[in-house]
């Protein structure tokens, strides 16, 4: 399987799509056939259904749900969980939790593009506990420890 499989779970659900051929993310749409729209009051969070489930191509993969920049920057509507992590074996509905961080209400309507799904390979080696880590150039130097004047 080398395709991203999509299963529509609700009637009226929009398929994810990339805005252009080079877009990294597949835009996810709110699926609100009954409500029609939901108003996010300032500070309010809501979990939006997308009406779809995904089957990821084989290999170690993860789906990451990121903000759409326009919605975030212009309207302050951002994923509540910062980035949603979609496990490759998750076959349930993709959900997008959004919060309105600005001080004006914002309306999300059925079919609105609310977030984007990015698929990426991951590396999940087994864990080995050790007494010492291999020496590195940075060592234990933390925040701001390089480039000091």
Instruction: Report yes or no: 116 and 65 within 8 Å, Cβ to Cβ.
Output: yes
CA distance linking residue 60 with residue 3, whole number of Å = 14
Show the tokens assigned to 39: 């108003």
With respect to ligand DUT, which residue has the nearer C-beta, 75 or 88?
A: 88
CA-wise closest residue to 117 among 53, 46, 74? 53
CB-nearest residue to ligand DUT:
84
Which range in 7-15, 20-28, 80-88, 106-114 contacts ligand DUT by CB under 6 A?
Answer: 80-88
Q: Does position 52 bind ligand DUT by CB under 6 A?
A: no
Work out which of 94, 98, 108, 114 binds ligand DUT, going by CB under 6 A: 94
With respect to ligand DUT, which residue has the nearer C-beta, 86 or 110?
A: 86
Q: Where do runs of H (alpha helix) occur along 65-139?
A: 69-75
In 10 A of CB 100, how many CB atoms? 21
Query: 3-class SS at 134?
Result: coil
Work out which of 10, 81, 101, 111 binds ligand DUT, going by CB under 6 A: 81
Binding site for ligand DUT (CB under 6 A): 65, 81, 84-87, 90, 94-95, 97
């Amino acid at each position: 399987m080398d395709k991203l499989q999509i299963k529509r779970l609700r009637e009226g659900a929009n398929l994810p799509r990339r805005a252009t051929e080079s877009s990294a993310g597949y835009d996810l749409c709110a699926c609100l056939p009954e409500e029609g729209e939901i108003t996010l009051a300032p500070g309010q969070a809501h979990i939006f259904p997308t009406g779809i489930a995904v089957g990821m191509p084989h290999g170690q993969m993860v789906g990451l749900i990121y903000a759409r920049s326009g919605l975030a920057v212009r309207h302050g509507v951002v994923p509540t969980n910062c980035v949603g992590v979609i496990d490759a074996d998750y076959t349930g509905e993709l959900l997008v939790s959004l919060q309105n961080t600005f001080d004006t209400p914002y309306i999300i309507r059925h079919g609105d593009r609310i977030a984007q799904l990015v698929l990426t390979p991951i590396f999940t080696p087994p864990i080995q506990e050790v007494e010492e880590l291999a020496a590195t150039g940075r060592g234990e130097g933390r925040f701001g420890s390089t480039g000091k004047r």
